[in-house]
Structure 1
């Protein structure tokens, strides 16, 4: 699951490589603060960041 979250959160809409923070900010840019999607991502952000961190810790240094 961590790897799937990482793949989603480090790939932009056009397939470009992003940091997870860049990807989440991109998602926020598409939804108003009062939108349920925005609120959900705000709550999920710390949990998802931990998944990305765990995945990055498992990768060899050159793959990061």
Structure 2
């Protein structure tokens, strides 16, 4: 997993990266970029990852 995030180390961004490395993917790499255009094609934004997870959670728990 490779993630990207907007420039700046805010507490929520660092905490999200730590949680992912600690509990999901210890080999995950994170990039803090100046612009979305600088994002490598193989990277996923943390926002994108959270949206996908929430959709999955919603689909599994509709009933």
Q: Tell me whether the two structures share a fold, i.e. TM-score over 0.5.
A: no
Structure with the higher fraction of residues in helix conformation = 1
TM-score under structure 2 length normalisation:
0.31
Q: Choose between structure 1 and 2 for higher RCO, CA contacts under 8 A separated by at least 6 residues.
A: 2
TM-score under structure 1 length normalisation:
0.31
Structure with the higher fraction of residues in strand conformation = 2
